[in-house]
Structure 1
Amino acid sequence: EEVSQPVSFGGNVRALVKGGWGFVSFNAPDDLGEKVELAVRHAKLVGKGVTSFASVEPVVDALEEVAAKDCSFVPLAEKKRLVEEYTGVIMSTPKVETSVVGYRDRWRKVVFANSEGSHIEQSGSDLSLRLSAMARDGGDIQQAGLSVGSRGDYTRVEGLHAQAGETALRAVELLSAPRMKSGEYWVVLDPVLAGVFVHEAFGHLSEADFTYENERMREIMVLGRRFGGEHLNILDGAAVPGLRGSYRYDDEGVPAARTYLVKEGVLVGRLHSRETAARMGESTTGNARAVDYHYPPIVRMTNTFIEPQQVSFEEMIGEIKEGVYVKNWYGGTTSMEMFTFSAGEAYSIRNGRVAELLRPVVLTGNIFTTLQNVDAIGDDLQMNQGGGCGKGGQSPLPVSNGSPHIRIRHCLIGGA
């Protein structure tokens, strides 16, 4: 229904004076000196304190990333044809009334320079594909979806015709699926939903600008506090290669890192810009990011995941007499430490086996209580690259998240 191929060019200037920021964005580099002066004037108007900005060694570097079949070289007509094929597969399924297939890619080159001597050029592609099907039987409507993405590798979105058909069929099957009685259950999360859970419910709380600006969170997110068992390790890092949240330097010229947030169940780190690192007396992590040149960089996640352990999926469900296996995701909300997530798929677990498909369910709880109730972590880490992150009006920012299968005791389940 809609095809576009926009092109944009621009930049921004940030100035820091006595703790105050000035910011100017532009679509053309004409009179760049005047834009620098304007940013400085703005900073002087609000700067009334002391500048806190972590020291970083200047860097001069140039990096270009090109995938073997990079999406930036694939003709627009071929991308349109692929979307139409997936739409045809979905719409050929009886009882499916609506399909939404959205493909998005971009190539960008970012040049960063600062007054400390850094000059960094980074370029590369990013792409994402979202398939969804909506089935109807009278007044009953159910939906199912699939999301994938990559750092420009077009082959990751090719050949998904079978998955598109399975997605449509699952939406139809949900029309006759039974509902799960609300209550507390042993719940097993697949890698996709567990990754979304750790990103949304815990990752955002680990972004230091949120913690620094919120007194209650400063009291809760204290380094050294235990949040889970010794088997629980949560990390974030752009230095993990090959993922949508990967890069060499962030948008302040800080080298990418691999940061433990929780190690052996204990809070040991958080994500920083140069400013938050200085204000909190902690090390930089390379997590200052802007979605494009219209915005200043803020603290953002990159690739966030739970480290794998040694428990197999069969062992994990084998100990459950009655429970729920949840997969994929529809969405969710978080408010401080409370969360609500909608699972894309749900199945009964009965006497150690995955049983019938259920109507979609909602998981609700307190993130800190829930982390304490994670009693088994699988050996099958998978990274989900089909989503994007939003914060401070900047969306969608390329990220990835992942996990092995995890098992949670006493998880509150309700019908969607």
Structure 2
Amino acid sequence: MEKLIKNALKSAKADYAEIRIQEGVSTGITYVGKELESIGENNAFGGCVRALIKGGWGFVAFNDIANLPRYVEMACEQARFVGAAESQLAPVPVINDQVKTKVEIDPADISLTDKQALCNKYNNMILSSPQIQTSNVRYVDSHGTVYFASTEGSFIVQETIFCGISLLAMARDGMNVQQAYHSVGDLRGFSNVQNMEHKCEEVTKRAVDLLSAQPVTGGKYTVIVDPKLCGVFVHEAFGHLSEADFIYENKKLREIMVLGKRFGIDALSIVDDGSLIGEAGYNKYDSEGVPTQKTYLIKNGILTSRLHSRETAAKMREKPTGNARAIGYAHAPIVRMTSTYMESRDYTFQKMLSEVDNGIYAIGSLGGQTNMEMFTFSAEEAYMIRHGKIQEKIRDVVLTGNVFETLMNIDAIGNDLQIHGGLGGCGKGGQSPLRVSDGGPHVRIRNVVIGGR
């Protein structure tokens, strides 16, 4: 494979060219209610060539490597059509490396029958409660190898083993329908989907309990968010605004996201780190062969960096961060997050709670949306806080606001950082779901607008 790829690149008449080839096998099992909706294994093989000429990119994807030199030629032809300026790529080291993955239990060593039996067991546990109307259990694993080579001389082989499961319970009482969800998914192997019986019970109980919870009264509250919701907020509301392709193309955002500007209290630091082994967002190298790293987006309250591809780094005269990622061989790399989280500090959850007279404890996320600096998130579950104590369960808790004001309103950061992966993944530019992780500690935020449904 190496010789074939390197020989094909020799024919590239371009300022720069690269080849990515991907091969792998994946398993998927889905239960919806009592039905086994889908089960199967899938083999995939394909690749792409990207060529850069006078600032214009050519891109060709393929499934058959016999005609590799021809695909290189086609990518160069395309690039010549669109190139009309100067090619800009930030310099990076030439790398020759082979990345092997070690896991405790390789999903490839577990039979499809055993994987199905596990999903069936979890599904039956969720459905065992009479108030559960339906369920959804989804299992995914994949074993993939990506070969990367560039005209600069890099040749990298990276192996990845992903495994995860999601559990959903939907409870119903007349017209009142509530759901609860839990998902795991990362590069630690099959062991992370085992022994999840307690999670099935927890998800079932949460969904049923929500039926009797009262809807929240809308208003402004001091809110404590749990590590999961903190992670979703950091990723969705701030992480996407830190992606340099988005900033470079958006004049308004360039005026807001000025390096050196204060974005929060001294204790606030937000990080993107693609080098955390085992996490869903881990890669030793990105899709351009650039080493991943720990990048402080906000450090001690100050905006210090952003996420880059080689091209955005060159255009903005900054350093590449190893954040050019493609979801697969049929797509060109774009600037994406990896493992994005808020660093922990020294507040205990109990101390944070004790200082709140009237507030809300919001846990998990059922999703949300962002539009530039505005965000809306639905908490998965929530409780009222009164006089420093967690009180009754509430529902329909929707947090809305301006991300920059919200960051400024953070007044306590916990000491209990957690990072989560999952099956959901991230979507951008038609590439979804990309495996990522996000997280943080418990965080307290003043003056959060809460809209009840």
TM-score tier (shorter): over 0.9
Equivalent-residue separation in structure 2 for 1:208 and 1:141 (angstroms): 41
Q: Secondary structure at the match of 2:215?
A: coil
Deviations 1:106-147 (A, max 9, x none): 110000000000000000211221111111111111111111
1:95 aligns with 2:131: yes
Equivalent-residue separation in structure 2 for 1:78 and 1:299 (angstroms): 38
Q: Is the 8 A contact 2:264 2:301 kept in 1?
A: yes
Aligned residue number for residue 367 of structure 2: 331
Equivalent-residue separation in structure 2 for 1:77 and 1:210 (angstroms): 45
Aligned residue number for residue 75 of structure 2: 39
1:228 aligns with 2:264: yes
Ranges in structure 2 where 5+ consecutive residues have no aligned partner: 1-36
Query: Which amino acid is 1:63 matched to?
Result: V
Aligned residue number for residue 78 of structure 1: 114
Aligned residue number for residue 282 of structure 2: 246
Which of 389, 404, 408 matches 2:441? 404
Aligned residue number for residue 172 of structure 1: 208
1:415 aligns with 2:441: no
Which of 85, 91, 107 matches 1:49? 85
The CA deviation at 1:368 is: 0.2
Aligned residue number for residue 310 of structure 1: 346
Deviations 1:75-124 (A, max 9, x none): 11111111111110000012101100111111100000000000000002
Equivalent-residue separation in structure 1 for 2:398 and 2:47 (angstroms): 42
Question: Which structure dedicates a bigger proportion of its chain to strand?
Answer: 2
The CA deviation at 1:312 is: 0.2
The CA deviation at 1:73 is: 2.1
Query: Which amino acid is 2:107 matched to?
Result: C
Deviations 1:324-361 (A, max 9, x none): 00111100000000000011010111110111111131
Which of 426, 436, 443 matches 1:389? 426
Q: Is the 8 A contact 1:124 1:152 kept in 2?
A: no
Aligned residue number for residue 343 of structure 1: 379
Equivalent-residue separation in structure 1 for 2:432 and 2:110 (angstroms): 25
Equivalent-residue separation in structure 2 for 1:189 and 1:77 (angstroms): 40
1:187 aligns with 2:188: no
Query: Which amino acid is 1:400 matched to?
Result: S
Which of 369, 372, 379 matches 2:405? 369
Q: Secondary structure at the match of 1:52?
A: coil
Aligned residue number for residue 6 of structure 2: none
Q: With structure 2 as the length reference, what TM-score do the two structures score? A: 0.91
Q: Is the 8 A contact 1:17 1:44 kept in 2?
A: yes
1:269 aligns with 2:305: yes
Identity %: 51
Q: Secondary structure at the match of 2:313?
A: helix
Equivalent-residue separation in structure 1 for 2:226 and 2:375 (angstroms): 18
Q: Is the 8 A contact 1:103 1:129 kept in 2?
A: yes
Deviations 1:273-295 (A, max 9, x none): 00000000000100011110000
Q: Is the 8 A contact 1:222 1:267 kept in 2?
A: yes
Q: Is the 8 A contact 2:401 2:449 kept in 1?
A: yes
Equivalent-residue separation in structure 1 for 2:108 and 2:439 (angstroms): 26
Deviations 1:4-39 (A, max 9, x none): 211110000000000000000001101110100000
Q: Secondary structure at the match of 2:43?
A: coil
Equivalent-residue separation in structure 2 for 1:31 and 1:179 (angstroms): 61
Equivalent-residue separation in structure 2 for 1:389 and 1:79 (angstroms): 25
Aligned residue number for residue 64 of structure 1: 100
Q: With structure 1 as the length reference, what TM-score do the two structures score? A: 0.99
Equivalent-residue separation in structure 1 for 2:268 and 2:295 (angstroms): 14
Deviations 1:34-86 (A, max 9, x none): 10000000001000011110111110011110201022322111111111111
Equivalent-residue separation in structure 1 for 2:420 and 2:141 (angstroms): 17
Equivalent-residue separation in structure 2 for 1:77 and 1:329 (angstroms): 32
Deviations 1:247-301 (A, max 9, x none): 1111101111100000011100000000000000000100011110000011000
Q: Is the 8 A contact 1:66 1:124 kept in 2?
A: no
Query: Which amino acid is 1:106 matched to?
Result: S
Number of matched pairs: 416
Find runs of 4+ consecutive structure 1 residues off by over 6 angstroms: none
Cα root mean square deviation, aligned: 0.8
Q: Is the 8 A contact 1:374 1:408 kept in 2?
A: yes
